Structure 1
């Protein structure tokens, strides 16, 4: 698949082996992840990647999970649903 046919980027949160954190960040970057946040003590990082790249990221040794970011919108405080 060439770069022009890649799917749109989505936000992802990854849980990785904290003992290999720096190594995995570099491996994930080389695989196509754009890293936007790091939490090495927790073994998590966030970033963006094309949707079709998620299975590749999940298959990397040391990656425990890849979850898509979700946006939650709450109604205003004065809304009748509160």
Structure 2
């Protein structure tokens, strides 16, 4: 089952972020967005492959994406 993830690129690898993207794709990641200036890549990958992406050269961290939902403005919880 695919899992939405965020990959942080190591500071010393930001200059070669496109190479990191290629390696992540080779590792099974479907890329949604590449935020080059801040070194972040978002996308999805099969849950069983998440750990392997952490060993890709230039990857600092692989984290699951989290969704935050706020109550509507007219709710009792503020």
Determine if the TM-score, normalized by the shorter chain, exceeds 0.5: yes
Residue 75 (str. 1) matches residue 68 (str. 2): no
Which residue in the other structure is 2:3 paired with? 10
Which residue in the other structure is 1:4 paired with? none
- What RMSD in Å do the two structures reach over aligned CA positions? 0.8
Residue 28 (str. 1) matches residue 24 (str. 2): yes
Q: CA deviation at 1:67?
A: 0.9
| Deviant stretches of 4+, over 2 Å | none
Which residue in the other structure is 1:3 paired with? none
The number of residues matched between the two structures is 75
SS at match of 1:72: coil
Q: What are the ranges of 5 or more consecutive residues in structure 1 without an aligned counterpart? A: 1-7
Which residue in the other structure is 1:52 paired with? 48
State the TM-score, normalized to the length of structure 1: 0.86
SS at match of 1:41: helix
